[in-house]
């Protein structure tokens, strides 16, 4: 199942360059929808909430920019990851579903594991693989 429509909440400024494909982005504040496509460069500001509708499979480059800290230094740059089901921020831990390019929070993943089978477990936007527990066998000591 390929999800072509989903809500998104930008938790940091994001700049996007669309390489191919197209989408309609509809702001939740009632503003007019925006259609973007190949060659478009778009800046989404922190706090912007919208609904994406992919009209042609997209490829894009993007960069996420954090706020400037109070002391003038840049704050730590974290990827902006929001659950495509419930819109909660889930950069700390998420599941990435390659088909449909979905980000799923742990709560939504647990509700429907079958729907998201094969999803990549991520922490901080990076693949996370749990190391299997090692079994250590003790040698018997002679009496």
State the Cα–Cα distance between residues 123 and 132, nearest whole angstrom: 17
Instruction: Note the pLDDT tens digit of each residue in 55-100.
Output: 998 888 888 887 655 555 555 555 567 888 887 888 788 888 887 7
Instruction: Note the pLDDT tens digit of each residue in 103-139.
Output: 888 999 999 888 888 888 888 777 777 666 565 566 6
State the Cα–Cα distance between residues 26 and 36, nearest whole angstrom: 11
Q: Distance of alpha carbon 6 from its chain centroid, rounded?
A: 12
Instruction: Note the pLDDT tens digit of each residue in 33-55.
Output: 999 999 999 999 988 999 999 99
State the Cα–Cα distance between residues 8 and 43, nearest whole angstrom: 14
Query: What share of the chain in percent tops pLDDT 90?
Result: 30
- Residue 70: CB atoms within 10 A of its CB come to 7
pLDDT of the residue at 22: 95
Q: What is the 3-state secondary structure (H, E, C) of the chain?
A: CCCCEEEEECCCEEEEEEEEEEEEEEECCCCCCEEEECCCEEEECCCCEEEEEEEEEEEEEEEEECCECCCCCECCCCCCCECCCCCCECCCCEEEECCCCEEECHHHHHHCCCCCCCCEEEECCEECCCCCCCCCCCCCCCC
Split at pLDDT 50, 70, 90, the class of 5 is confident
pLDDT of the residue at 131: 62
């Amino acid at each position: 199942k390929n999800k072509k429509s989903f809500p998104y909440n930008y938790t940091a400024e994001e700049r996007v360059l669309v390489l191919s494909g197209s989408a309609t982005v509809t702001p939740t504040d009632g503003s007019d929808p925006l259609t973007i496509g190949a060659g478009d460069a778009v800046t989404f500001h922190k706090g912007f909430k919208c609904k994406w509708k992919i009209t042609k499979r997209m490829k894009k480059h993007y960069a996420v920019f954090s706020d400037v800290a109070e002391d003038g230094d840049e704050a730590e740059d974290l990827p902006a990851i929001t659950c495509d089901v419930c819109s909660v921020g889930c950069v700390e831990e998420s599941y990435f579903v390659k088909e449909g390019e979905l980000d799923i929070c742990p709560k939504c993943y647990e509700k429907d594991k079958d729907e998201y089978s094969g999803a990549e477990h991520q922490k901080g936007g990076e693949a996370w693989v749990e190391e299997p527990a090692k079994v250590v066998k003790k040698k018997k000591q002679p009496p």
